[in-house]
Amino acid sequence: MAERVNGILKDEFGLSDALPGFAQAIALVGRAVRAYNYFNLALYFDDVQHVLTVDEANSITRAPKADVWGFCETELKAAAGALPPSVADAQQGHMTAASALAILGRLQLAEKKWTDAATSYKTIMDFGYYTIDPRYRELFLSAGELSHEVIMSQQYIPNTYNQALLQYLTPETWGGWHQYSPFNELVKAYECTDGLPITQSPLYSESNPYANRDPRLDFTVMISGRTTFRGKTYSATPGTTLPDRLNQYPGVWSGYAIYKFLEDDPAVATTSNDGNNFPLIRYAEVLLGYLEARLESGAGVDQALLDATINKVRGRAAVHMPAVTATDPTALRTILRRERRVEFAFEGIRYFDCLRWGIIGAENNQQFTGMKLTNTPSTYTAYPVDANGYYIFKKRNFIVGKNELWPIPQSERDLNKNLTQNPGY
């Protein structure tokens, strides 16, 4: 990515003479995309090689993360100051000022520059173009591709430039590979319809745990015996001959599957030909990011701010969850973090959040569970279950002080002998 952008900036393709106006615009887009790429690289690897020319690619040393992120801030601000706030539907997918500012907001949250992040997000809000879509599930299907909630998305085209996401996510009942299986710990994070967590709500029943829950649960996770897709009901009942039975691959499937992104109409997308775009940044992230920045800056939170941010996200017609009224920082922080977890499930944001909040070790070092198997766990012996009858799935071993960073790929170190390895690898 960086190599292609650097080529554009050096005018290796002769654009400045042939199309001077276009060359200037595409250079700004390239700078923003390169900054997005370097922001993520430094997030995952810490200090990274900041390559700006081909000649130095195989000899450059790792630059401090702070320097790389400082470069990213400068590039994103330049793009945001020159690109249009939004584009017409026919140009959906082009980088905009809002895209650059949304990336900048993420970066500033990661740096804990709360006031700066609030400014970046508020600028997008003041554009007046982006809004919370009344729909939720459709945002991740073809029907939502032109939604004014989508600020930035990865673009795909059926039959031409398609993707394989549905092949990996779709359960075997519908011809997919069922490669990903959510943990019950995510399922438990969804509140009841009264706006209370399951540990506090009188609406929650352990004998019927999926009833009376935040509608986003059913929009996001396939639940055995509950979710219907393309005329069939998903079933993971163990001990049967069903394709997605829990015990077909022990320790691999939790009994849940990902429902988000699964296109209802096979004429629009199939497991082998999925042209649906993937949303990278939504306006919901802008609103919740703005609230977090204001909260953590100590600027104070009132009901007007809650109604302008988190309550707009929770209040979309398809979700219609009760409004948040807590302004106490500790209580609101818990609510806001839970809201981000369920709103953005499987959109690639949770890892970023856990790193920023310093909870990634605690979130990973626990016993993960799967689907509900029995209401009489004391006498149930077919499969391992916990005290509430949930399948005991797997346990991770996250090494605090090491696994926060990813290892530098050995293939890169073979090419560049000046690249040091991250601690512990």
Q: What is the pLDDT of residues 73-89, one digit of tens each?
A: 999 999 999 999 999 98
Instruction: Name residues whose C-beta falls within 8 Å of residue 372's C-beta, 6 or more positions apart in sequence.
Output: 209, 210, 388, 389, 390, 391
* 128-185: pLDDT as tens digits: 999 999 999 999 999 999 999 999 999 998 888 888 899 999 999 999 999 999 999 9
CB pairs under 8 A, 24+ apart, for 94-99?
A: 94/29, 95/28, 95/29, 95/32, 95/33, 95/152, 96/151, 96/152, 97/127, 98/124, 98/127, 98/129, 98/130, 98/151, 98/152, 99/32, 99/151, 99/152, 99/281
CA distance 284 to 311: 10
CA distance 49 to 59: 9
Percent of the chain with pLDDT strictly greater than 90: 84
Low-confidence residues of the chain: pLDDT under 70: 1-23
Q: What does the pLDDT look like over 320-344, one tens digit per residue?
A: 999 999 999 999 999 999 999 999 9
Evaluate whether 284 touches 149 at the Cβ level (below 8 Å).
Answer: yes
Burial 360-379 (b: 16+ CB within 10 A, else e): bbebbeeebbbbbbbeebee
Q: Which domain holds residue 247?
A: 156-276+358-425
One-letter amino acid of 391 = Y
pLDDT score for 272: 84
| Residue 7 domain-assigned (yes or no) | no
142 located within any domain: no
Q: Is 172 contained in some domain?
A: yes
Is the residue at 122 inside a domain? no
Domain count, the chain: 1
CATH number for the domain that contains residue 251: 1.25.40.390
Please report whether residue 55 resides in a domain. Answer: no
Q: Is 332 inside a domain boundary?
A: no
Asked whether residue 85 is domain-assigned, the answer is no
**Is 376 within a domain?**
yes
Q: What six digits make up the tokens of 322?
A: 């009760």
Contacts 24+ apart (CB under 8 A), 8-13: none
The span from the first CA to the last CA of the chain, in angstroms, equals 26
